[in-house]
Amino acid sequence: MPAVPLRNRVTPFGEIIATEARGLLFGNRGVLHDDDGRLVRTWQVWRWIACRLEFKGRRRALLRPRHYTELFFLDEATALAAGHRPCAECRREDFVRFSQAWAKTHPGEPVRVDPMDRVLHAERVGAGGAKRLHEARPEDLPDGSMVGEDDQAWMVLGGELLAWSPFGYGSRRRLPSGATLRTLTPPSMIEVIRAGYAPGLHPTALGG
């Protein structure tokens, strides 16, 4: 009998689902499961991070009692849309680039992780803990940001919208003009991308 997939994959809506699809990034947002490995919450701490799959040979058994819940993302665009920033340890170079872009969009403010995470948390979690959506004009959305229509997430790339799935990006259509779109990527993340931080994309976004 095939193994049942664990519920540990994160969508651009911030939801945690079970799927056989594999991701390019790993991360966490605290202890989300009980001692039997069942998810009992969608977040625990404000520090939501996205990490490398491999770092210094470290290995973890999944869903250990009282240890943080291991989460996986299709790519960095997905992680940013869900509200996860680069880890300052295993992805130090990416975190530095992210922080430099953050400083450009928050002039005069010291770049520290605690204030950064508070801003991001306010932008990604709304009333009752649900995903907070925002609005933006199509021309203000940089490549790598994501929007949502009903239950479908779309990534902006090269003037097009690419349909997201746990396995990669599929159908494409032209980015509409004139209409306001619901953004999944938090506003501060969008500003960071516009300031020069280019998120890593799944090969299917580039035709791979």
> pLDDT by residue for the chain (208 residues), tens digit each?
457 889 999 999 999 999 999 899 999 999 999 999 999 999 999 999 999 998 787 787 888 999 999 999 999 999 999 999 999 999 999 999 999 999 999 887 778 999 999 999 999 998 888 899 999 999 999 999 999 999 999 999 999 999 999 999 999 999 998 789 999 999 999 999 999 999 999 999 987 6
pLDDT of res. 208: 60
CA distances from 204 to 118, 128, 140, 162 (A): 33, 34, 24, 10
Question: Residue 208 half-sphere exposure, CB side, CA atoms within 13 Å?
Answer: 5
pLDDT of res. 61: 82
pLDDT of res. 177: 85
Q: Is the pTM of this model over 0.85?
A: yes
Query: Is-contact 7 42, C-beta < 8 A?
Result: no
* Amino acid letter for position 116: M
Residue 76 falls in which region: left (phi positive, over 0), alpha (psi -120 to 50) or beta? alpha
Edge to edge, what strands does the sheet with 160-165 contain? 134-136, 181-183, 146-149, 152-157, 160-165, 168-174
